[in-house]
């Protein structure tokens, strides 16, 4: 079992000194990865299903992870997740290729389709078509990252006769992790993902999601070049994450637990949390 640390770019960790301190502590404690979520804007006033208050701090994931890369040497840097249909795919491809280069090839590219309609509306992004947009944007990014003569023609993005260098260090591109618990998300993970990320799941929820992935694998062809699908889970708030629980997740087929500290922790509390998890779970 590998361990990641979620929300390196939000709440107390949105402060630069805290981000750097926690990133270094996580690397020293043996965490394999740091993960940054995303909301460009948040509804005000807060209303379900928005997970954060309007004034909660959350840094841009690519910028936060680049900052973390500068103060670490080994730990992987995951977007968990970027809301892909809200982004310009070529601008995002440039940003993430830059991160992969500057970090020495440590990026994990986690994507999702999003779910906050007010956020899409504010950004002028098509909420109803977000799944189809995601599929096209992902294909376009892979093209500009890996093709000698990048070109893509689709309904939502088209380009040719352009180049974007440098390409990512990782070839043909950084590993792609797909988030989401719908049948379409499972299909996207099987067909295009190196990994799948389930957020805020207990053991039963994880089991149901893995069943959904297995069903998708039976219906859709998986390219052999993708290899085995790596499973990452962030346990829900009500889950006590101890050694026995980790073993139960592992028995289900989970490869990585991306742990989510309390949003109420300050810099000292976050560092203590990381050090405790390192001693009790990561180093075992």
Residue 284: which of 74, 23, 1 has the closest Cα?
1
Q: What is the pLDDT of residue 283?
A: 79
Domain spans of the chain, in order of start: 2-282
Residue pLDDT, tens place only, 243-279:
999 999 999 999 999 999 999 999 999 999 999 999 9
What's the CA gap between 160 and 93, in Å, rounded?
15
Check the CA dihedral 186-190-192-197 and report its sign. positive
109 exposure class (CB count in 10 Å sphere: 0-12, 13-18, 19+)? buried
- Model confidence pLDDT, tens digit, residues 40-49: 999 999 989 9
Nearest to 40 by CA among 94, 96, 136, 118: 118
> Nearest 5 degrees, angle CA 22-CA 40-CA 31?
25
> What is the structure's pLDDT at 143?
98
Number of helical (H) and strand (E) elements in the chain, helices listed first: 9, 11
Contact 33, 76 (CB under 8 A): yes
**2-282: what fold?**
TIM Barrel (3.20.20)
Q: Which helix (H) or strand (E) holds 234?
A: strand 230-235
Q: Residue 20: helix, strand or coil by DSSP?
A: helix
- Block means of pLDDT (10 residues each) for the chain, 284 residues, are 97 98 98 98 95 97 98 98 98 98 98 97 97 98 98 98 98 98 98 98 98 98 96 95 97 98 97 97 83
If DSSP codes are grouped into helix, strand and coil, which group holds residue 54? coil
pLDDT at site 15: 98
CA distance 211 to 70: 39
């Amino acid at each position: 079992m590998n361990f990641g640390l979620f929300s390196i770019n939000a709440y107390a960790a949105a402060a630069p000194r805290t981000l750097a301190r926690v990133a270094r502590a996580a690397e020293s404690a043996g965490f394999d990865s740091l993960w940054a979520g995303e909301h460009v804007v948040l509804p005000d006033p807060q209303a379900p299903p928005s997970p954060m208050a309007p004034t909660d701090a959350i840094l841009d994931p690519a910028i936060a992870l680049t900052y973390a890369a500068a103060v670490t040497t080994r730990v992987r840097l995951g977007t968990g997740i970027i809301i892909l249909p809200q982004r310009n795919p070529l601008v995002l491809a440039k940003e993430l290729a830059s991160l992969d280069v500057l970090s020495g090839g440590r990026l994990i590219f986690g994507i999702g389709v999003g779910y906050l309609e007010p956020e899409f509306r504010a950004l002028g992004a098509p909420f109803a078509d977000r799944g189809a947009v995601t599929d096209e944007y992902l294909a376009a990014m892979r093209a500009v990252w890996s093709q000698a003569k990048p070109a893509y023609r689709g309904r939502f993005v088209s380009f040719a006769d352009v180049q974007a260098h440098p390409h990512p260090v990782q070839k043909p591109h950084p590993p792609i992790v797909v988030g989401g618990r719908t049948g379409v998300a499972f299909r996207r993970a099987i067909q295009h993902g190196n990994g799948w990320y389930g957020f805020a799941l207990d053991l039963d929820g994880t089991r149901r999601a893995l069943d959904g992935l297995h069903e998708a694998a039976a219906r859709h062809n998986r390219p052999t070049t993708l290899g085995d699908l790596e499973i990452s889970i962030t346990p829900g708030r009500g889950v006590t994450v101890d050694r026995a629980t980790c073993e139960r997740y592992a028995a289900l087929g989970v490869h990585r637990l991306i742990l989510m500290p309390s949003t109420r922790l300050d810099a000292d509390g976050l560092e203590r949390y990381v050090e405790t998890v390192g001693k009790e779970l990561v180093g075992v």
